[in-house]
Structure 1
Amino acid sequence: MLLDSVRDVPSEEELNGEWMDQAPNPGTCPPKIPCARRHPHDNGEPQSPTATIAASKRASQELEDPRHHKKHRLFNSLGDIISLRIGPKRVPFSVHRDVLLSSSPGLAEMCNLFVSPDDRTILLLSQCPDTVQALCYWMYHDEICISHTISQRPGNHLDPLETAPGLFVKLYIAGDKYSMPRLRNDAIDALLSHSQTIDLVRLSTYVYTNMKVGSNLRKLLVRVVSYKFDAEDLHEHRHLICAEFMFDLAKAAFVDRDQGFNRFRDRMPPQEGFCVAFHVHERGAERCEMMKGRKVKSKQGLKLLSGLDEIISLVVGNEPQTTTLSIHKSVLCETSPFFKAACKPEWLKSEDKVIRLPEDNVDAILAMIYWMYQDRIGFTDKQEASYRFEILSESEMDSIWGLWSRLYIIGDKYGIPRLRNHVIDAMFHYRDKVGQLPSLLIPYVYQHTASSDDPLRRLLVAFMKVDLTEAYLVKNEKVLSSEFLFELTMAFVKSYRNGDSYDDVPDDWGCDEICESFHIHDDETRICESLHLPVLLKEAKN
């Protein structure tokens, strides 16, 4: 009999409870740190603040997300699309070439061998569409995701490969075939967190047929079954266990005997020490402390999973200096009502599927596309290095501040309030890295926003109300917008009248206060539970 009829492998939360208790809770505030800003009456140029709301937020976020260290290449080229043809029916999936190159050495080699300017196709005839669909989602999002339909299939489904554990196994095998160790690690975590032992037993023949001796997936099956099954279980399910698997179970039993182990008394759960036992890491990489789970997507939230075959080309800029960027139609339409309308047949020509954006900045559209796939703002090493610049220099708009201002305006222009909220969070996070916000941002923002109640306008006024000095004001008199100066003066008057502090964004503010003051939510969107920090993208070489 099975030890647990529901799930006899501990959940991710149960296993990681000890570690999770030690991690900071997103949205909570750490102890206050004294603020080192200069006061508004100081005459000198402001010094870089050493503690701001950004410091508080960084302490309350999980900044060591593995995606911070992944070498993303989405900023290099989004115009080159590879068509994957899957299975005997050659089901078409379209993927950015840069994503393939950065995620899989195996697929990268196939790109180099088989892809030409005249033929951008790779045949994966031995794979099934469900597996490659989930693999593509992982390449873009760095996490395993399954559809709601697959997640609801019972463990006793006629074909175990059509269940969630079956998909995890197929992803592991694909990760092994295409040299993707991080995908293999994530598939191991998904199996340990969300499978019953009987699921693994039903899949064992497939695993032993497709994996070599000594593989970590074989080791996982042996360890789980050795830990969970007693004699009655083995007898009941003998018909599901192939000869090689039974040999490995017997060998494990002899090892236990020789080491003096009683498997029901002494052996640790298979999840204990999971990283050392089953993961593969690059030399020098830190060991995993927590297992990664998997996400379940409903039909309405599939985005990339629901449409890997249809690509839209965004042509950015005016002739002759235009740049073509490619994006999956499902991702574009899911994140923006403007683009959803633009993709309707009456507006989009079926023969070319092109949307022209002549007024937009290429870097900003690149950042928007990255955000649409990742649901987080990314920026490059070069952009981060340019946050310090000569005041009144054109490089101001090439800095991350210029990028984020443009990104905010794009979010407003194309009806993406969530993107605007993420920009607000990014600016809070990076506020402590410069003495004052770049002056050229102010006329740009005020030129492209219409209301004094716009969140970014109010944020700039709040920042400058504390960080601006009289000397800086005089120096930049001709640059600063008259509307901005009016709203800044009004903010000071309100503080005088109400006897409030000059600082409208105190250092001890948490997610709730920032969200309530500067975020935009529709009636169906809940208030943010945590702030959304930007991620630094390490650009890899071709």
Structure 2
Amino acid sequence: MDACLDLTGQTIEVIVGAKKHVPFTIHENVICASSQFFKKAMSGEWSEAKSRSVRLADEDPDVFHIYTQWLYHDTFPVRVDKPGVEGNAEYLLLAKAYVLGDMLQDGNFKDAILDAMVEKTESKLSNDTTLFPVGPVIRHIYDNTMESSEARRLLVDLYTEHGRGDWLRKRASREDLPKEFLYDLVVAVLDKRYWRYPTRAPVPDPCAYHQHKADNSICYKNRLAQKPRKRQRT
């Protein structure tokens, strides 16, 4: 436990979840020093300050558990080194934690979550590969954050610098890819190409898009070139 934590004073109860109500007992000094949401809730005329209980019905107890672990230990109780769906599930849990941190107005927690996501992209999995966030992770971040979110920018940067087409073709459904993400990604890719290659590339051969494909000899333009011109009367 961090020796700098102030564990004096009273505790508060945080009841998390809609169907299953899970209580968490947390030192008021600890959570109010980190979260602006709780700092406001436990001060002034708010009813929570009098009852010393805060209800978070819309939040996931498993995600809030990640937050409490970070408050007291500066670590996250998640570490999955398996590829595929299980590995991406960890990204999704971190994405949900980021959204929770956004709601709780805890900037340091949000920063730590993004650091954990970056670290995961650099860590080798059990099959000696690396894994990047795909599919539902993108949808959750874009559905639950503002346009200026740093989490959105991280996803776009990861795809711009490291992404491949099959990340979208094979690892995500159309429902997983918000138009806002695709727009942000296209803009980032075009900007990256422009600044890396400022000189204009040659215009492609139009025949590359014709029905005849590689056989330019049957292009309609050859037929026009061979067709005799009619002499015009003067």
* TM-superposed deviation, 1:396: 6.7
Q: One-letter code of the match for 1:418?
A: N
Tell me the TM-score normalised to structure 2 length.
0.72
Residue of structure 2 equivalent to 1:285: none
Tell me how far apart the structure 1 counterparts of residues 38 and 96 of structure 2 sit (CA, whole Å).
18
Which whole-Å CA distance do the structure 2 matches of 1:482 and 1:415 have between them?
27
Equivalent position to 1:462, from 151, 154, 157: 157
Does residue 46 of structure 2 align to residue 343 of structure 1?
no
Work out the CA distance in 1 between the residues paired with 2:190 and 2:48: 54
Distance 2:68 2:48 in 1: 21
RMSD of aligned residue pairs (Cα, Å): 2.2
What pairs up with 1:312-327 in 2 under 5 angstroms?
Answer: 312-318=12-18, 320-327=19-26
1:482 aligns with 2:171: no
Other-structure match for 2:131: 435
TM-score w.r.t. the length of structure 1 is 0.33
Q: Distance in 2 between matches of 1:470 and 1:350?
A: 51
The answer to whether the Cα contact below 8 Å between 1:446 and 1:484 also exists between their aligned partners in 2 is yes
**The residue matched to 1:486 in structure 2 has which SS?**
helix
Cα distance between partner residues in 2 of 1:315 and 1:491: 41
Q: Which of 339, 361, 364 lines up with 2:63 in the alignment?
A: 364
**Counterpart contact for 1:337–1:415, Cα < 8 Å:** yes
Mapped to 2, the partners of 1:347 and 1:404 lie a distance apart of 30
1:77-156 alignment, distance < 5 Å: 140-141=1-2, 145=3
Q: Is the contact between residue 379 and residue 400 of structure 1 (CA under 8 Å) also seen in structure 2?
A: no
Identity of aligned residues (%): 24
Going from structure 1 to structure 2, the CA distance change for 1:477 and 1:370 (only over 3 Å counts) comes to: closer
Separation in 1, partners of 2:50, 2:132: 49
Distance in 2 of aligned mates of 1:490 and 1:349: 45
Deviation at 1:350, TM superposition (A): 6.4
**Greater percentage in helix:** 2
Q: Secondary structure at the match of 1:379?
A: coil
SS in structure 1 of the partner of residue 157 of structure 2: helix
1:414 & 1:340 partners in 2: Cα distance? 10
- Alignment partners' CA distance in 1, 2:188 and 2:120: 23
Query: What corresponds to 1:421 in structure 2?
Result: 111
For residue 423 of structure 1, report the CA deviation from its aligned partner.
Answer: 1.3
The answer as to whether partners of 2:41 and 2:49 remain within 8 angstroms in 1 is no
CA distance in 2: counterparts of 1:402 and 1:342, whole angstroms: 28
| 1:329 aligns to 2:28 (yes or no) | yes
How many residues in Structure 1 have an aligned counterpart in Structure 2?
Answer: 189
Query: Is 1:494 the counterpart of 2:191 in the alignment?
Result: yes
In the alignment, what sits opposite 2:232? Answer: none
Q: Which residue of 2 aligns with 1:379?
A: 77
The CA deviation at 1:435 is 3.2
**Unaligned 5+ runs, structure 2:** 125-129, 198-234
Unmatched segments (≥5 aa) in structure 1: 1-139, 146-296, 501-542
Contact kept? 1:396, 1:402, Cα under 8 Å: no
In structure 1, what is the Cα distance between the partners aligned to 2:44 and 2:193?
A: 56
Q: Of the two structures, which has the highest relative contact order with CA contacts closer than 8 Å and spacing of 6 or more?
A: 1
* Cα distance, 1:472–1:401 mapped onto 2, change above 3 Å: closer
